[in-house]
Amino acid sequence: MFARWISPGSGRLTLLLWLLTVSVTLGSASELKVRVRLADGQITDELLEADSERDSITVEFKQGDGTLITFVADFKQDVKIFRALILGELERGQSQYQALCFITRLNHNEIIPSESMARLRQKNPQAIRTAEEKRSTEMLSMNVAVNLTRTWQLSAHIHNMCSVAREAVYTREADVKHWLDRGMDSSMFEPQAVEVPGLQSCGTVKDLWQPCSCSYNLRLEWYPCLLKYCRNRDVSGRGSPYKCGIKSCSKGYQFTYSVPHKQLCLWEEEN
């Protein structure tokens, strides 16, 4: 399995990005746009969409280097999906975009429910948001490749999100075990070598065509992670809780996976 490059011949990039966005957000979704400060100090416009009918949330933004990050939380299936469309280095023989997709289990209380997200409004759309809580980076060994032709069992969102990545769709062995216990088809998954003797980090490999272990880092800089509750008190002094806002979080992820050659992981040279 290898990272997918989107070639110039695949159509205009603006059309591609528009089609990708449409494929992710089809359905009866409510939309919220917020201005977010990234870790490098730059400001980006972040799109948050909640689809109550499909019980899902989408977060999408562009990083300072031009990478388009899309995150989907599928509450029906307890699955979360990360997609990165990374600008290529044309002067080094790469195409315009490289696509990566990572799929893991969605745990409880990672993000607010879709029906709560759908009700969110902001008083000042021009305000620049920074997260109230910065959560630690999660290290994920993505040692299983995913066959897209069978992912409808796992989540209806995966094919729309990850079809552009094709052979660069990964998950974890621990998540696969959980899904197999739930009756998923094992032919959907193909184990990959990540932590094997002799497989070097792409950052230390000199030969661009040598296999290596690649790491990709991303951070969701601002998303509603928890609901806040306040308490009303009646004349007797008794209180009843009610939802009175959200808590925002920032969380980083490091995905490690194998690539057939370093040319598919040039960002490690910068690290």
- For the segment 130-144, what is each residue's pLDDT rounded down to a tens digit? 999 999 999 999 999
Give residue-wise pLDDT tens across range 199-258: 899 999 999 999 999 999 999 999 999 998 887 776 666 777 877 788 999 999 999 999
Question: Mean pLDDT, to the nearest integer, of 78-97?
Answer: 85
Pairwise CA distance, residues 95 & 211, whole Å: 19
Give residue-wise pLDDT tens across range 90-117: 777 667 789 999 999 999 889 999 999 9
**Alpha-carbon torsion, ordered 171, 219, 115, 240, to 10 deg:** 120
> In the chain, pLDDT over 70 holds for what percent of residues?
85
Q: What is the reported pLDDT for 269?
A: 81
Task: Indicate the pTM of the whole model.
Answer: 0.85
Q: What are phi and psi of 179, to 5 degrees?
A: -70, -35
- Return the DSSP state at 179: H
Specify the higher pLDDT residue, 56 or 14: 56
Q: What is the reported pLDDT for 193?
A: 65
Q: What is the DSSP string of 33-52?
A: EEEEE-TTS-EEEEEEEEET
